[in-house]
């Protein structure tokens, strides 16, 4: 599994200001709809349902919201870089500015977990996060993410 298989270039965006987690999820739903044809309402509902189990802000300004839903045939992703960090109830109580959302088919088991582990390892890299924060062009962000994988592999 590779990030290039999870993340389409048109699913990478930079947003100036997001006012709330709910608004962020709506933006993620809209992008998932335009990039992959997912139902935006179902996507937002699935993200909110998962978030109600516990926040997906993993620390160091990174959030990894994820959900299983009807629609995708494989695990897919959306990446957002926020110009202004958003309070997210992250584990370290720091606001987030890098969001990598994953959407998996309802019946996906191991594939969803492998994708989540891959994205988590990638986003844990201080070097990758620094490069993401230093770029504002979606194409550059996509390149950083897909090239950063380097030796990071999921079986």
Instruction: Point out the residues that are catalytic.
Output: 66
Distance CA 77, CA 75 (A): 7
Q: Which two tokens stand for residue 154?
A: 């999921």
Segment holding 110, helix H or strand E: helix 110-123
Non-local CB neighbours of 59 within 8 Å, separated by 6+ positions: 90, 91, 92, 94
């Amino acid at each position: 599994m590779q990030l290039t298989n999870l993340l389409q270039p048109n699913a990478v965006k930079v947003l100036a200001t997001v006012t709330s987690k709910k608004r962020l999820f709506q933006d993620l739903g809209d992008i998932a709809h335009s990039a992959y044809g997912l139902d935006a309402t179902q996507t937002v509902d699935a993200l909110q349902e998962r978030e109600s189990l516990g926040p997906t802000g993993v620390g160091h300004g990174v959030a990894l919201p994820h959900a299983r839903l009807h629609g995708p045939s494989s695990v897919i992703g959306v990446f957002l870089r926020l110009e202004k960090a958003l309070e997210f109830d992250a584990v370290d109580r720091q606001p987030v500015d890098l969001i990598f959302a994953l959407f998996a088919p309802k019946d996906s088991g191991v594939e969803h977990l492998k994708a989540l582990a891959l994205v988590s390892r990638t986003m844990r890299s201080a070097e990758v996060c620094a490069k993401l924060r230093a770029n504002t062009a979606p194409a550059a962000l996509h390149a950083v993410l897909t090239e950063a994988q380097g030796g990071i592999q999921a079986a």
